[in-house]
Structures are given as structure tokens and as C-alpha cells.
């Protein structure tokens, strides 16, 4: 594995990513890695970043570990968008979402936009960077997973403004706008566990139930392992009750990026 650090993908907000590449001449496709931290903290170079990068590059993928805006307040948006964000927060609460408002308000919306900007940068520059395909997945942890899932099924006012990933894996996350799910959307895999004191699994189950109701390609896997942060280690080293390693499930999800259009 090799790493090209500090690639600026959004000069306006001074946002960068570190690009991990396989030792081969080119990567089959790219996965954007979005760290956790409640949209308030976190960094693209956490310890687990390297573990995921090694596994993905060993499988022939590139991985772009991105920084995104943190602690964004409502006043960073236009008055019209502020109203949209408030309306979405209210609707999420009405459908039964039980999360800290920080996880689906202004800071969340900014992070969703930033992941989209990273996708668009990679579409343009990917071939130059050694990525053979324009198909892009998102691997998001906690808040990063929330942003990735929302980008797959973006809120209506953002539909024409953002670019959607081709596949998403979200660990310890939830769909905050379940009413936006649709049959023809990108496939999403949510990996979660019980007794999560940060993002209760009930929030993930809410989105999974809606997906099943309408036939959207969203799957929830319950690891049966307690806790929030514990899910990262379980994905890296654990196995499903049927014997399938969770990391293999992740790889199978991103194998879709190799499929022909």
C-alpha cells in the first residue's frame, strides 16, 4: 500500500484527503472513508483509518480518507437552506428518529455536501491519481456513516446539488431521512450493534423497516455486539453468526463498484 497525503479537494474550505492506493499500477475503484466524531470532532488519520485502507487496497481499491467541515452552524447557510434544515430536523423527529440534533442539523448537512464535493473531485481527477473507474463508494463511521447514507438518498432541496455514491457501508450510523428512500437508489449496508449509547440501533432499524416496506436496497446487519465504538473492531476482526467475516460483507458491498454500467 502507498499513500499520497494532503490532496486538496475543496480549496474554499481548505479540505484535504489522504489517498491510499494498492501497490499495483491502478485501483479498480475508490472508496471514500468518512470518519466519525459527531460532526464536532474526529480526524481522517485515526488509527482505524490505516486498518481499513490496508484491507481495501489489498482488495484492489483506492481509499480516500477525507476531512470534512466540523461544528458548522446554521448561519453558514442561506436563509432558504436554514429553513430547509429546520424543516428536515422537525420531520426526522416526527418519524421517530431519536438522536442528538447535532447529528442531523447544520453540521451534518455541511458534511454531506463535503462528501459530495470529494466524489466530484475524484470523478475529475481519479484517472490521474491512478483510479481506473469513476464509480465511488462511501465507508462511513458513525457521523461519517450518517452523511454517507444521506448522500445516497439526499434531502429534496439538495437533490440537484449533490452527487450520490454508487454504494455505501455505514458502521454505527442511521438514515436520518427515511422518507427519502427509493427502490432505485444506491445499495447501502448498515452494520450496527445493540446497547449503542450514541446512536441507538432503533434509529437504524427505523430506516431498515422503511427500506423493506418500499423495496429500497438498504440492509441492516446486527452484530449482536454491544456498544458504539466496538463495531469498528468487530467489522475489522469479527464474523457474522453464519460465519461470514464482516469485512467480507464490506468487500462484497464495494464489489458492486466493479460491475459494468
> Degrees (nearest 5) of the Cα angle 247, 207, 47?
35
Positive or negative torsion for Cα 92, 98, 145, 251? negative
- Rounded to whole angstroms, what are the CA distances from 194 to 36, 205, 215? 18, 11, 25
Please report, in tens digits, the pLDDT of each residue of the chain (261 residues total).
999 999 999 999 999 999 999 997 789 999 999 999 999 999 999 889 999 999 999 999 999 999 999 999 999 999 999 999 999 999 999 999 999 988 999 999 999 999 999 999 999 999 999 999 999 999 999 999 999 999 999 999 999 999 999 999 999 999 999 999 999 999 999 999 999 999 999 999 999 999 999 999 999 999 999 999 999 999 999 999 999 999 999 999 999 998 754
d(CA 113, CA 161): 8
d(CA 176, CA 170): 13
Q: What is the pTM of this model?
A: 0.97
Question: Which domains can be identified in the chain, with CATH numbers?
Answer: 2-258 (3.40.50.1820)
d(CA 162, CA 154): 8
- Rounded to whole angstroms, what are the CA distances from 89 to 84, 150, 176, 211? 9, 13, 9, 20
Instruction: Provide the pairing of β-strand 188-192 with 167-171.
Output: parallel
pLDDT confidence of residue 259: 75
CA 88: distance to chain centroid?
Answer: 19
| Other Cβ atoms closer than 10 A to 59 | 17
| Other Cβ atoms closer than 10 A to 94 | 9
d(CA 238, CA 252): 16
DSSP letter assigned to residue 229: T
- Rounded to whole angstroms, what are the CA distances from 193 to 30, 138, 204? 27, 20, 10
pLDDT confidence of residue 240: 95
Phi, psi of 106 (to 5 degrees): -65, -45
DSSP letter assigned to residue 186: P
- Rounded to whole angstroms, what are the CA distances from 101 to 50, 86, 148? 30, 10, 17
d(CA 129, CA 122): 9
Amino acid at each position: 500500500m502507498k499513500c499520497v497525503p494532503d490532496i486538496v479537494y475543496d480549496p474554499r474550505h481548505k479540505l484535504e484527503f489522504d489517498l491510499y492506493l494498492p501497490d499495483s499500477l491502478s485501483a479498480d475503484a475508490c472508496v471514500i472513508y468518512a470518519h466519525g466524531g459527531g460532526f464536532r470532532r474526529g480526524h481522517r488519520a485515526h488509527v482505524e483509518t490505516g486498518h481499513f485502507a490496508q484491507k481495501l487496497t489489498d482488495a484492489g481499491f483506492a481509499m480516500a480518507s477525507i476531512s470534512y467541515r466540523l461544528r458548522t452552524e446554521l448561519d453558514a447557510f442561506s436563509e432558504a437552506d436554514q429553513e430547509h434544515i429546520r424543516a428536515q430536523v422537525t420531520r426526522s423527529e416526527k418519524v421517530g428518529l431519536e438522536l442528538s440534533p447535532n447529528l442531523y442539523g447544520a453540521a451534518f448537512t455541511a458534511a454531506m455536501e463535503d462528501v459530495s464535493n470529494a466524489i466530484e473531485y475524484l470523478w475529475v481527477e481519479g484517472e490521474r491519481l491512478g483510479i481506473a473507474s469513476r464509480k465511488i463508494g462511501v465507508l462511513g463511521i458513525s457521523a461519517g456513516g450518517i452523511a454517507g447514507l444521506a448522500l445516497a438518498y439526499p434531502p429534496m432541496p439538495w437533490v440537484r446539488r449533490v452527487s450520490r455514491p454508487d454504494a455505501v457501508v455505514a458502521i454505527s450510523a442511521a438514515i436520518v431521512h427515511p422518507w427519502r428512500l427509493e427502490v432505485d437508489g444506491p445499495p447501502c449496508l448498515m452494520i450496527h450493534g445493540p446497547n449503542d449509547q450514541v446512536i441507538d440501533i432503533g434509529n437504524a432499524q427505523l430506516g431498515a423497516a422503511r427500506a423493506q416496506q418500499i423495496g429500497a436496497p438498504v440492509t441492516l446487519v446486527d452484530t449482536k455486539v454491544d456498544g458504539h465504538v466496538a463495531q469498528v473492531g468487530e467489522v475489522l476482526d469479527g464474523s457474522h453468526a453464519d460465519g461470514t467475516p464482516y469485512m467480507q460483507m464490506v468487500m462484497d458491498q464495494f464489489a458492486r463498484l466493479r460491475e459494468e454500467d
